[in-house]
Structure 1
Amino acid sequence: MTDSASSPVRSRSGGRAARRAARAAPLADHLRPVRAGMSGGTYHPLSDQDMQAIHNAALDALEQIGLADAPPSGVEYLTRAGGILGDDGRIRFPRALVQKVLAQANRTITLHGRDPKHDLELCGTRVHYGTAGAAVHLVDAQTREYRDCTLQDLHDAARIAHELDNIHFVQRPMVARDVTDNLEMDLNTIYACCAGTTKHVGSSVFEPGFVPEVFDLVHLIAGSEAAWRERPFMSASVCFVVPPMKFATESCEVMEALIKGGMPVLLLS
């Protein structure tokens, strides 16, 4: 009787390594648990009746009380549209006018990123998450102590937000306290954010006279004014109304100049 040669042992062709690599790989966009534009709108803390009551109260306030301190250009725009300028200098808005304008309002808006893959389609119940806050202090990661925010911190925050899938836009999260000139702070804030991310960026403009230089900067980043107007990658936050029922005059002038230049505006009050 002769011994037969044993069969050679075959090594597995990288099956375990392949499975590990598959588990470590990023999920496909459609499989990610948090994605830009996911449907929301399921949280209803107020009933339809409650919301209608708030809406009616707002219509009453606009029609009966109105708003004071509109700049001359704003008075012209608003009265031309149907607002009524009273002897007390307040502009009142007839209920029918407000309802007409609401019915005409655009229901779909795109906030562009410098990279089209970061475009945000604002419509329906789509939800997007982003940074905000304009914090003036932070806890230093090294010393664990509070200190003023700096321009470098802002840039670093934009870079971090750029890499996070669950952050879809970068609204200025902090104020660069090491830049004391207001114009320089506006310009450097925009630059620091845009240098850190190609997602949509949000910031603000301190006064009307700064707007031309802001547009010079965004045109330079975009490549031209035409390229900017085609895909405006930045929006501006404007607090245009302040208590009690007054327009913030200078902010309204900033808003007008920004709109003329093609910049989306986030209205705050």
Structure 2
Amino acid sequence: MEFAKFFTQAEAQRIHEASLEILENIGLLVHNEKARHIFAQHGCTVDTQTGLVKFPPQVVEQCRQSFVPKYTFTARDPQFDRVLPDHRPVVVTASSAPNIIDPKTGKERRATSTDIANIAFLINELPAFDVFSISVLADDAPKDQISISRFYPALKNCTKPVRSNTPTIRDLEMVLELGYTIAGSKEAYLERPFINHHYCPVVSPLTMDVESTEAVIYLTEKGLPVYGTIVPNAGLTSPMSLLGTLTMGNAEFLALACLLQMIRPGAPNIYAVLSTVADMRTGAYASGAIETGILQMAHTMMARFYNIPSGGYIGLTNAQTTDAQSGYETGMNTAAALLAGGDLFNMGGLLGGLMAFDYAKAIMDNEMAMMLKQVKRGVEFSEEGLCLDLIKEIGPGGSYMDALHTLEHMREVAFFPKVAGREMRAQWAVSGQLTARDRAVEEANRILSKENPARFSAELDAKVRAHFPNLVAGDAKWEA
């Protein structure tokens, strides 16, 4: 599959060189002391008074030599393991919204651990989603169990790869202890680390924080899966220039990538971004704007330049409800990213610029993701696929409707949606005049009213709950 391109190879090289100029002459403000020490050990210039780190070009180029072209998301059930770029597009839920659209009232409210359990069950059953990045926070979490109250219901109800982050190292250690308990031992977990970690340690412009950076270092040292997302926002935290934002974001990616390679050469990584352009009329965070898709395409080109998997938060929406806006913002940006060669799509379920999860949106995004996977398949060339013998057999004026070939191939050639309606208007009118959102809600109810096949066994659940006193229930509970 040929990819859409904005730049020539020479222009991509110039963007790389400009990023090196930023890192060498302007540098990165690094607040984490351990990171500063690692950078200094590997040839960077560190100002111990200000925390400013400057990267000689040869240091960056040396780190580039150990970049690897693949990244694996490991699942509790090995059949759901996903490798970038082999399984592209790998579709992931968008994550960490504080709120949820209540499926009963339709009102927005704070999300809970029970919501996480329900969403985990839903994502486990939706075929287009490959990774469950925990969609919401848990407002009912005990103060000393903020992160485990998210990971426990997620892992308990989903056998696909589970991904999220933690606010502190103590939380991270508790989450890893949960993984060891589920796996049966620390050794068994380290062989198949089915908890996948993600952070945003670089804060634009050109700053590296303390806690997220600490977590990235901790996980990389242990050989556990982790990657970061770069999030420049043109007009606010990066230049009001698509090329300038790309170049600065690329420099930020290189700085983070160097940290990983300095700790563990060959550490897998993803060139992941959420580069945006602010709506300067109000200062609004416009994650659903078409410029997000354009910037994702440009960053994807740079990822191919470095031969590293790419992707990020693409297919988000600023719509506050699951409507036409939420559809075209998600659809246009994800299609653009796919055509540019993106591998990873954090696109599912959230409204309002990452603020609220909606079950109907998740169902509709699953359908869009199935279409994206269909586009990725494209038109496969073969002599058999030309169908010359069949065309000769049917002849001019004939019908393919009752041909055996049609019956044999119709399900592999065409994607049959459950949300999009294709009936004639008269049939639609007598069947209730359901909208796409109505059908999405019906599908969510159908799935979540079933028995959950992914749920922990009673024995495993008892073991986990004995290890972690006062844990949230973590059960999927649904009333249609």
User: What TM-score bracket applies, with the shorter chain setting the length?
Assistant: 0.7 to 0.9
SS class of match (1:178): coil
- Aligned partner of 1:63 in structure 2 is 24
Describe the shift of the 1:103–1:126 C-alpha distance in structure 2 as closer, same or farther (beyond 3 A): farther
- Aligned partner of 1:127 in structure 2 is 89
- Aligned partner of 2:215 in structure 1 is 254
Give the drift of 1:134: 1.5
- Aligned partner of 1:139 in structure 2 is 101
SS class of match (1:212): helix
1:176 & 1:207 partners in 2: Cα distance? Answer: 16
- Aligned partner of 2:126 in structure 1 is 164
2:147 & 2:44 partners in 1: Cα distance? Answer: 33
C-alpha contact (below 8 Å) 2:216/2:227 kept by paired residues: no
TM-score, normalised to structure 1, is 0.78
1:145 & 1:41 partners in 2: Cα distance? Answer: 44
Provide the alpha-carbon RMSD of the alignment: 2.1
TM-score, normalised to structure 2, is 0.45
Provide, for residues 149-169 of structure 1, a one-character-per-residue CA deviation record: whole Å limited to 9, x for no partner. Answer: 111111111111111110001
Describe the shift of the 1:45–1:178 C-alpha distance in structure 2 as closer, same or farther (beyond 3 A): farther
C-alpha contact (below 8 Å) 1:130/1:168 kept by paired residues: yes
Give the drift of 1:263: 2.6
1:26-175 correspondence runs (5 A): 42-48=3-9, 50-86=11-47, 88-123=50-85, 126-175=88-137
Amino acid at match of 2:214: E
Give the drift of 1:228: 1.1
SS class of match (2:105): coil
Greater relative contact order (Cα < 8 A, sep 6+) = 2
2:71 & 2:95 partners in 1: Cα distance? Answer: 23
Number of residue-to-residue matches in the alignment: 229
Provide, for residues 115-145 of structure 1, a one-character-per-residue CA deviation record: whole Å limited to 9, x for no partner. Answer: 1111111236832001123122222111111
Amino acid at match of 1:212: E
SS class of match (1:104): coil
SS class of match (2:83): strand
Query: Which of the numbers 184, 194, 219 marks the counterpart of 2:180?
Result: 219
2:15 & 2:211 partners in 1: Cα distance? Answer: 29
- Aligned partner of 2:151 in structure 1 is 190
Which stretch shifts more, 110-119 or 88-97?
A: 88-97
SS class of match (1:198): coil
User: What are the ranges of 5 or more consecutive residues in structure 1 without an aligned counterpart?
Assistant: 1-39
Describe the shift of the 1:123–1:233 C-alpha distance in structure 2 as closer, same or farther (beyond 3 A): same
1:244 maps onto 2:205 in alignment:
yes
1:41 & 1:135 partners in 2: Cα distance? Answer: 35
Q: Could you say which structure has the larger radius of gyration?
A: 1
Describe the shift of the 1:231–1:169 C-alpha distance in structure 2 as closer, same or farther (beyond 3 A): same
C-alpha contact (below 8 Å) 1:211/1:258 kept by paired residues: no
SS class of match (1:175): coil
- Aligned partner of 2:395 in structure 1 is none
Describe the shift of the 1:244–1:154 C-alpha distance in structure 2 as closer, same or farther (beyond 3 A): same
1:201-212 correspondence runs (5 A): 201-212=162-173
Give the drift of 1:258: 2.5
Give the drift of 1:46: 4.8
C-alpha contact (below 8 Å) 1:133/1:174 kept by paired residues: yes
1:3-42 correspondence runs (5 A): 42=3
Describe the shift of the 1:154–1:80 C-alpha distance in structure 2 as closer, same or farther (beyond 3 A): same
Give the drift of 1:49: 5.0
Give the drift of 1:250: 2.1
User: What are the ranges of 5 or more consecutive residues in structure 2 without an aligned counterpart?
Assistant: 231-480
Describe the shift of the 1:161–1:102 C-alpha distance in structure 2 as closer, same or farther (beyond 3 A): same
Give the drift of 1:54: 3.1
Amino acid at match of 1:170: F
Provide, for residues 100-119 of structure 1, a one-character-per-residue CA deviation record: whole Å limited to 9, x for no partner. Answer: 21221111222211111111
Describe the shift of the 1:215–1:124 C-alpha distance in structure 2 as closer, same or farther (beyond 3 A): closer
Give the drift of 1:212: 2.4
Which stretch shifts more, 43-52 or 151-160?
A: 43-52
Describe the shift of the 1:170–1:41 C-alpha distance in structure 2 as closer, same or farther (beyond 3 A): farther
